[in-house]
Amino acid sequence: MCGIVGYISKDGNPNSLRLGVEALKRLEYRGYDSAGFAIWDANKKDIFCQKAVGRINKLEEKINNNSVFDNPVILHTRWATHGGVTDCNAHPHCDCRKNIYLVHNGIIENYKELKEQLIKEGHKFSSETDTEVLSHLVEKFFKGNLEEAVRRALSLVRGTYGIAVISREDPKKIVAARLGSPLLLGLGENEYLIASDPSAVIAHTKKVIYLDDGEIATLTPENFFILKEKKPEEIEWKLEEAQKGGFPHFMLKEIMEEPETIENALRGRLIIEEGRVKLGGLDGIQEKLRKINRLILVACGTASYAARVGEYMLEEYAGIPTEVDTASEFRYRKPIVDKNTAAIFISQSGETADTLAALKEMKQKGILTIGITNVVGSTQARETDAGVYTRSGPEIAVASTKAFLGQLATLAMFAVYLGRQREMALVMGKRIVQELAKLPELAKETLKSAPEIEKLAKNYKDFNNFWFIGRKYNYPIALEGALKLKEISYLHAEGVGAGELKHGPIALIDETFPTVAILPSDSVYEKMVSNIQEVKARRGKVLAIATQGNEDIKKIVDDVIYIPKTLEMLTPILSVIPLHLFAYYTAVLLGHDVDKPRNLAKSVTVE
């Protein structure tokens, strides 16, 4: 969950540090407790290292622009796992002799044993991190060749890592390696980059090579070497897509891109006249899918709420028994699976450590694995048997918004895909596909409520506790709405099935504990109205998300936000949009950094 950048060029670019810092800024969403760099100093023929606690701008303040820096340079922005947020714990880390400098993303599980042995051998440590062990290990094996020292050091390591390493005594190279933590090479004109995310390199090149687990890459000013030859891939999105585009925050920009996200997910995949969808990534397993009689959806966080919506869709319209598992718990269960079970793994980044661990477990059992992800070339995309890209484009804000919409749209298509293989009639298929095609415009219409939602946020921002309630398809949306509010506003919010209120949670309801109720005009609308009445009977304030044209709801709730009418199974794709806006405006009004909320990072690549 940290950001890594490395840069080396043929001409000894004097702007290497500036270029590296700019690339690192595009990764700040991956970690922002502290930042640092290590760079070859051309005058002193030595490596200069600088660190700072806080955001990257704190590091920039410490840079001496009069110094003559060359390259290579490695940079890092940290999300703490081992050790507090201090200069000493910031990356890069070096060995006792200040020969090896290293940045790391991941967790070294056996670092304590390694550290104890290294201390016995005379090594002195200056941080509380697991990462520092790596720099001392590389130094232990260093005999003048950096890549050989890295290879030998990593053979002793247990855990996950994406690393970039430079050496004072083998100066004109960067050595990079990965195991369970994303890392790619950017191939530019007379320059090479290492990064943990494509957004860091797209200002320089769109040609990238994604390292696979266990691979070690060496970059020199003239060339690069990997243990096996790999064909470069093209990054599909553009630099401007990862910039704010005039919005005050990435999160607001990404919420406003939700209609486009839906459209991109659907584009070229809806065959309306035949009432079906075409998912090219599933062509190779089409016949296997016909034999599947059980599905397991595995995900974490926001993606797990998309999975819960997908569970309703797949059971109701594809007729396949489906269950949702949280990835962090799934691998520690002993799920009962057979050859007719398929597992679907959902991750925005395709690098979520818990989800990848669950994927590995299912592959070992010989189960058909399918991925739903946003990132081409990600570990999940490469490891699953087949998959579907959500095409959401880069999502920079830590709290996921538009990627969630992409996942929901993809799951809806997947339900039609499997349903039409089975008992779904042409008429039903056409109806769903036609309604899917309307969603981008309906989402645009929903976003027109943004000014009204901002006003409502002013009325609710001073409450400290919130219930979010929903039923059936919108129960997971209640969970998502609560998660977004707590993630970026730091207010206590909980999502609950509306029918469960009376079984305990309703004890907390009073005039200081408002409820956000999601009740489109669907099959459980009357039930939701009854649940709202229970809240109002206890003096609870209610903000409702309801379907346009429903004037009666105004008689029983305090405030209403309307969404357009659509099929019941598709209402979550619209009902979540006001909740994303509500969380955003509340957090802004409270003065919080909505793009980089405290204690969180974007791509959770540690367990």
Q: Could you give phi then psi for residue 142, rounded to 5 degrees?
A: -75, 120
Which neighbouring-strand residues pair with 163? 104, 177
Three-state SS for 81? coil
What is the distance between the alpha carbons of residues 343 and 324, in angstroms, rounded to a whole number?
10
What is the distance between the alpha carbons of residues 1 and 105, in angstroms, rounded to a whole number?
6
Q: How many CA atoms within 13 Å lie on the side-chain side of 566?
A: 25
Residue type for 175, please? V
Q: List strands edge to edge, sheet with 207-210.
A: 46-53, 34-41, 69-78, 3-9, 191-195, 184-187, 207-210, 233-234
**Sign for the pseudo-dihedral over CA of 106, 107, 108, 112:** positive
Q: Could you give phi then psi for residue 151, rounded to 5 degrees?
A: -60, -45
Residue type for 154, please? L
173 labelled catalytic: no
| Those residues with Cβ within 8 angstroms of residue 352's Cβ, 6 or more apart along the chain or in another chain | 299, 300, 303, 327, 380, 603, 604, 605
Cα 214 to the chain's mean position, in Å? 23
Residues in the chain: 607
| Exposure string over 516-546, b if 16+ CB within 10 A, otherwise e | bbbbbebebbeebbebbeebbeeebbbbbbb
Cα 551 to the chain's mean position, in Å? 38
602 labelled catalytic: yes
Residue type for 395, please? E
For residue 319 the two structure tokens come to 């007729």
Structural contact between residues 311 and 320, judged by C-beta atoms closer than 8 angstroms: no
For residue 328 the two structure tokens come to 């962090």
Catalytic pick from 2, 49, 94, 300? Answer: 2
Structural contact between residues 372 and 345, judged by C-beta atoms closer than 8 angstroms: yes
| Exposure string over 553-562, b if 16+ CB within 10 A, otherwise e | beeebbbbbb
Region of 492 please: left (phi>0), alpha (psi -120 to 50) or beta. beta
For residue 55 the two structure tokens come to 């955001």
Structural contact between residues 184 and 6, judged by C-beta atoms closer than 8 angstroms: no
| Exposure string over 293-323, b if 16+ CB within 10 A, otherwise e | eebbbbbbbbbbbbbbbbbbbbeebbbbebe
Q: Could you give phi then psi for residue 25, rounded to 5 degrees?
A: -60, -30
For the chain, counts of helices (H) and of strands (E): 18, 26
For residue 232 the two structure tokens come to 């470069």
The H or E element that residue 559 is part of is: strand 559-563
Q: How many CA atoms within 13 Å lie on the side-chain side of 505?
A: 21
What is the distance between the alpha carbons of residues 430 and 508, in angstroms, rounded to a whole number?
45
Q: State the catalytic residues.
A: 2, 602
